Every structure is written in structure tokens, then in C-alpha cells.
Amino acid sequence: SDEYEEIEIHENVILFRNKQHYDIWGAYSRQGTIICETTYKEIVPISQFALKVCKETEEYCYGLSYTWGIIDFTGKELLPVEYDWIADEPDNGLLTIRKGLKYGFIDAMGNLLLEPTYYSINRFKNGYAIVSKDDEFEYGVIDTRLNEVIPCHFSRITYIEESHLFETESGYKDPSGRYYAESNGKEVLVPSKYSCCESFDIGVAVAVLNKDFYTKLEGLINDKGEDILPPIFESLTPLDNGLYKF
């Protein structure tokens, strides 16, 4: 039609630009119902329920600024058009969003599941993703329910696909956050509240709890992973005869 500058036909939606507003887009359903008039700088179908939309905002020193949001197929705004970036495709049913320097998640319906919190979020592998806080210097792990199963207390984390373990600078942790240790050739799973433990001596080891990236407390555990002394000490140093200096 002479009215339209461009038409794009997708599986569930028809996008259009008209000659009067050639640089902004509108959308129809495949049944011909109007979703929105020419309103958005970009429209991207992201699911059978929702569209990702973009608006041009005020200029800044490097040029124009753009913000993104989500609308449904009636044109209703599901997620405010205030985010700097939204992924085109879901990862484990989740769409990554960014606001400023931080990333979070929405679902395919545009529901906000996690406010932008992390400086980086890797792709999920076997249901887990490595994340970072504090400008990528504090790494941890989240699951697909967005629980932080390994707190962001480590300067590096690598996922070992063969063993399904996470290697940190302190050793190995399983996906539930438990630390792998060894006592007299026997595997010990140290509770997830501890970031690591030192070598076992006569069935006892110093275990380290990270309150945050910079603050650590130490306690004692046995080779069943049970607390002997709670982690309330700034440091524990083994002496002779099973004694410890604190």
C-alpha cells in the first residue's frame, strides 16, 4: 500500500513503518488487530506473548540514547521502557536486562524477576550461571531460580563441566555451594556457609566463612563437616596438642 514505507511479517505479528513516520514502527497481530500505532524506534518479537520495544530518549554527549521495555499483543506495557538493553532470546526461560552497568532478569511475559544487580552474568550451563558484583571483582553462582547458591566472595570461578564442580581460588565447590575437602583419603563436604577450609589434622580443620568479599571469620569443623567451634574468630592458628591460638 502507498501508506506504508516498510512491512515485516513475523510468525505472530506484522510490523510496519508508514511514510509519515518512516523512522518509527507500529504493529498489527496476524489477525489484523492493531497492537500499537507507529510509536517505537524498534519492535522485536521475543515470545508468543510479548514484544521488545525501543524508544529514543534525550541526547547525551556521544549521541542519542535509547531505552527498552516490553509490551504485550494488546499494546499494554509489561515492563517500563527504561532499560538500556534487553536480550532478544531467552536463556533457560530468562531474558537478561541491563540498566546502567548492572544486569538482571525478566521472563518471556515481561515480568521482572531480578532487578539489575550483577555487573556480569554468564550463560547458564546445566542450570547454573557465574555472576559478578563490584565491577567484576567478586564472583559467585546463581541457579535458574535466581538463588545465589555460591555467594559473590571469590576473585575467580570456573565451571568444570566434566565434574560439574566450580573451581575457585580456594578450591572446589559443588552446585549447592559445599566445599570439597579431604581427610585421610575420605571426601568431606564442608557446609556451603564456608568458602573453604584448611587441611585436616586428626579429623579437625579450620573453616573460613566470608561475611563479605573483605571480611573473613574462622571456626573449627570435624571430618563430617560439623561445627566444633563456630566461625566467630578473626583467625585460628594451630598449636601443639590440638590447641589453637585466636
Rounded Cα gap, residues 204 and 221, in angstroms: 6
The answer to whether the CB of 198 falls within 8 A of the CB of 204 is: no
- How large is the average pLDDT for residues 100-106? 95
C-alpha cell at 203: 579429623
Q: How many residues does the chain have?
A: 246
Q: Is the torsion defined by CA of 137, 138, 139, 142 positive or negative?
A: negative
Which residues, at least 6 apart from 3, have a Cβ–Cβ distance to it below 8 Å? 18, 19
Rounded Cα gap, residues 160 and 123, in angstroms: 14
Whole-model pTM: value is 0.82
Rounded mean pLDDT of the chain? 90
Q: Where does the pLDDT of residue 100 fall: very low under 50, low under 70, confident under 90, or very high at 90 and above? A: very high
- In this predicted model, what pLDDT tens digit does every residue of 161-200 receive, in sequence order? 999 999 998 889 999 999 988 888 888 999 999 988 898 8
pLDDT of residue 63: 63
pLDDT of residue 45: 94
Q: What are phi and psi of 241, to 5 degrees?
A: 60, 30
Rounded Cα gap, residues 108 and 179, in angstroms: 35
The answer to whether the CB of 45 falls within 8 A of the CB of 12 is: yes
Q: Which residues pair with 132 in a beta bridge?
A: 120, 139
pLDDT of residue 59: 60
pLDDT of residue 214: 78
For 160-171, b/e burial (b = at least 16 CB within 10 A) is eeeeebbebebe
C-alpha cell at 48: 508468543
